[in-house]
Chain A
Amino acid sequence: MRPLLLQGGRVIDPSRSLDQTMDVLIQDGKIAAVGTGLGSPDGADVRDVRGKVVAPGLLDVHVHLREPGNEDVETIASGTRAAAAGGFTAVCAMPNTDPVTDNQAAVGFIVRQAARAGLTRVYPIGAISVGQKGEQLSEFGEMVGAGAVAVSDDGKPVASSHMMRTALEYAQTFGIPVADHCEEPTLAAGGVMHEGLVATRLGLKGIPAAAEEIMVGRDILLAELTGGHVHLCHMSTRGSVELIRRAKERGVRVTAEVTPHHLTLTDLACEGYDTQAKMNPPLREAADVAALRAALKDGVIDCIASDHAPHAYDAKEAAFDDAPFGVAGLETAFGVAWTELVEGGVLTAAELIARMSTAPAAALRLPGGSLKPGAPADVVVLDVTARWTVDPVTFFSKSRNTPFAGRTLTGRAALTVVGGTVVHPGEGPSAA
């Protein structure tokens, strides 16, 4: 493996509170040195990255890779290629595959497929319950042994409080968090967008904010009761933010994520029955967006996660009620976040990098998120001056579903390195 020298970039490493112009030398798959005026070893691949940001590889704790079961829509190979293009060096794969990732063999399959693809790292998340049916606990121990880093029934809420309690207790044996998709099923039943004036006008069934907040409150109380670690997926309401804030103040083991779309769009995006704006949880109101942004800044919400949810190109070509929920977000996450949050004055560059690398790694206790010498060389070079227009046709993901099509964004990955190997740009239909 050739050494790789990244010269003259703005090195931002939140794990060491570093933000200055330096060189980064990668050798033998590891960070060899970070400093000024580093010499280049013989045969090194030297890249001039002046004007660009060099950061720990981005880490997405919430993606749906659809393999096994829905390979027409995404595979582990296509999904990790999309992740690499988005600047991610690791992703956590949710278990709502077909069949469900609820046992060690299924977890092992994902690990092997990811190794075969050889792009970003994939950390599988196992199901909480067998078949995600909410009835019987999956074998957490065996799944962790095969490589699972957390458990979740994501895509479905854990309706039974007893099941959630049991999962939070049992997961502690293996030191893994329980990630929950917070949705009170009887309140959310049949809903397709946020309950509010827009839903009233469009005649669409709403999902009230309380459907999320009831479960956030429940999960926090159960984490407090059990001492377990609950990770709250894709938070969408200001009420949830307040519940998490108070829980963290009293020391409950709770972490939380928010998606780029919930940080930047409101239910107004559903106007005209735009099915690209249909997602679960739904896009909420401006006051929710403001609260989520503030919570991300002050750390009440730990990290950004894309909730990458690919769908077939024609699946969203339907009436709003009939279209599936979800956004293919891996390739737009950083650009949307940089444009809206950093250029929008909400976060500093270093804060955004932290919320997309160091913080998600810490939240799920994963390796990565640091450029410390000796650490695995998972590095991203971000061109934060590149202006580009989102054209879903150019996605590496097999899917095209995005509410950001046509948007002009600033910032994208110029180089993604996993374990010292350049995984983006690389071979592909539209190498950046």
Chain B
Amino acid sequence: MTAVLGKDLVGLEYLSPDQIRLILDTAEPFKEVSERPIKKVPALRGKTIVNLFFEASTRTRISFEFAEKRLSADTVNVAASGSAVQKGETLVDTAKNLEAMRIDMVVIRHPSSGAAQFLGDRIRSNVVSAGDGKHEHPTQALLDLLTIRDTHGRIAGLKVCLVGDILHSRVARSNIWGLLKLGAEVGVCGPATLMPRGIEELGVCRFRRIEEAIEWADVLNVLRLQLERMERGFIPSLREYYRVFGVTQERLERAPRQLTIMHPGPMNRGVEIDSRVADGSHSVILAQVTNGVAVRMAALYLLAGGRPELADAAKGPAGGANE
């Protein structure tokens, strides 16, 4: 059965606004599953999913695994270290071997941009990107969109600014596509050394100073600053980064309106974000994590051929438990 999303989910650039809305809408009924005492529905019973992680990940990998298990799929986790990959096997060979075991889906995280699409083009199973290099992290952006919609009741017309290392961020690219497609205004703010060439041509406005971004935005999505950026010479020190670009309580207090604060995690407190802001009443950082499971359930369900209008029914009793 052809799924409404196509075979693979490798980036929001390649989805229509309607497809993005469909995933968000499908996530709504799945949210409730995680609130049950018995967190399991039969939607993907009998499906086999491999989580293929070539890069370290805690949050995303666990979130996918919960999503899969709560949909009753059978899951296997493969990490690059300790696997055949470390013994020199190519990505294609790894994938083809997995497929030879007759799997249904692969969730892949890989350090090379385009790796998810590369895999999707070469195997019959559905491929879901859990982040590829500096390209996209589509389910992260979907959970960000869902969280913004939950908080503000809408996405269109909101001003959302991504703050930090845009150059190396797959979260930023996916958010830019998703937000623009759903009608938000998108800003980017960070040191010029961490800003990719031609970013404005994607239709975003660029702020050189964090104060200007805070004055403009309704929502700040604060990106993680990878500590190795300092070693590579993109910024002089973490101390100065915090001083110039840190999202601090004092800066937010001068904003003309209350800003919603988001962060894809893991946070460096005192580097890109002030602890008081991360823990403050307008932080939705943990809501993002909760929504991550629902959004991934929705994406997996739709990719597997689940019909959106039946998402509610798909929640039906599993193992006899019903409320």
Contact = CB atoms under 8 A, between A and B. Distances in A.
Interface of A: 195-197, 199-206, 208, 272-273, 317-322
A320 B201 contact: no
Contacts of B197: 195-197, 199-200, 206, 208
Given A273-B113, A319-B91, 10 more contacts: A201-B173, A203-B133, A203-B170, A206-B197, A208-B197, A318-B92, A319-B118, A319-B133, A320-B112, A322-B112
Nearest to B173: A203
A206 B110 CA distance: 19
Contacts of A317: 90, 92
Given A201-B173, A203-B173, A321-B133, A273 B114 contact: yes
Interface in B244-294: none
B117 A203 contact: no
B134 A203 contact: yes
Nearest to A197: B198
Contact of B113 (A196, A197, A320): A320
Contact of B135 (A196, A202, A318, A322): A202
Contacts of B111: 321
B120 to A, nearest CB: 11
B201 A203 contact: no
Name the 4 nearest CB pairs between A and B, nearest first.
A273-B114, A203-B135, A203-B134, A319-B112
B196 A200 contact: yes
A197 B114 CA distance: 16
A273 B201 CA distance: 20
A80 B273 CA distance: 61
B288 to A, nearest CB: 22
B13 interface: yes
Nearest to A317: B92
Contacts of A273: 113-114, 117-118
A272 B10 CA distance: 11
A200 to B, nearest CB: 4
7 contacts: A200-B196, A200-B202, A201-B173, A202-B113, A203-B133, A203-B135, A319-B110
B311 interface: no
Nearest to A272: B117
A200 B91 contact: no
Contacts of A203: 113-114, 132-136, 170, 173
Contacts of A208: 197
A200 B195 CA distance: 9
Interface of B: 13, 90-92, 110-115, 117-118, 132-136, 170, 173, 196-199, 201-202
Nearest to A190: B232
B208 to A, nearest CB: 18
A196 B199 CA distance: 9
A205 B110 CA distance: 15
Given A319-B91, A321-B133, A202 B199 contact: no
Nearest to B174: A203
A196 B198 CA distance: 6
Contacts of B202: 197, 200-201
Nearest to A274: B114
A319 B117 CA distance: 9
Contacts of B118: 273, 318-319
A426 B113 CA distance: 44
A317 B93 CA distance: 10
B114 A320 contact: yes
Given A203-B136, A273-B118, A321 B199 contact: no
B113 to A, nearest CB: 4
Nearest to B201: A197
A275 to B, nearest CB: 9
A187 B198 CA distance: 18
Contacts of A195: 197
Contact of B91 (A197, A199, A205, A318): A318
Nearest to A195: B197
B6 to A, nearest CB: 15
Contacts of A204: 113-114, 133-135
B90 A202 contact: no
Contacts of B134: 203-205
Nearest to B118: A319
Contacts of A201: 13, 173, 202
A118 to B, nearest CB: 38
Nearest to B54: A319
A200 B90 CA distance: 26
Contacts of B117: 272-273
A321 B118 CA distance: 12
A319 B111 CA distance: 10
A206 B170 CA distance: 16
Contacts of B170: 203
A208 B13 CA distance: 24
B24 to A, nearest CB: 23
Contacts of B136: 203
Contacts of A202: 113-114, 135
B169 to A, nearest CB: 9
A19 B205 CA distance: 57
Given A201-B13, A203-B173, A272-B117, A321 B198 contact: no
Contacts of B91: 318-319, 322
A318 B119 CA distance: 9
A272 B134 CA distance: 14
Given A199-B197, A206-B197, A319 B13 contact: no
Among B115, B117, B197, B201, residue most surrounded by chain A Cβ atoms (within 10 Å): B197
A194 B214 CA distance: 33
Nearest to B167: A200
B15 to A, nearest CB: 15
A416 B217 CA distance: 67
A200 B173 CA distance: 9
Contacts of B113: 202-204, 273, 319-321
A5 B96 CA distance: 56
A318 B90 contact: yes
A199 B197 CA distance: 8
Nearest to B92: A317
Contacts of A318: 90-92, 118
A319 B118 CA distance: 6
Contacts of A205: 134
Contacts of A197: 197-198, 201-202
A321 B134 CA distance: 11
A237 to B, nearest CB: 14
A431 B110 CA distance: 44
A205 B133 CA distance: 10
Contacts of B112: 319-322
Contacts of A319: 91, 110, 112-115, 118, 133
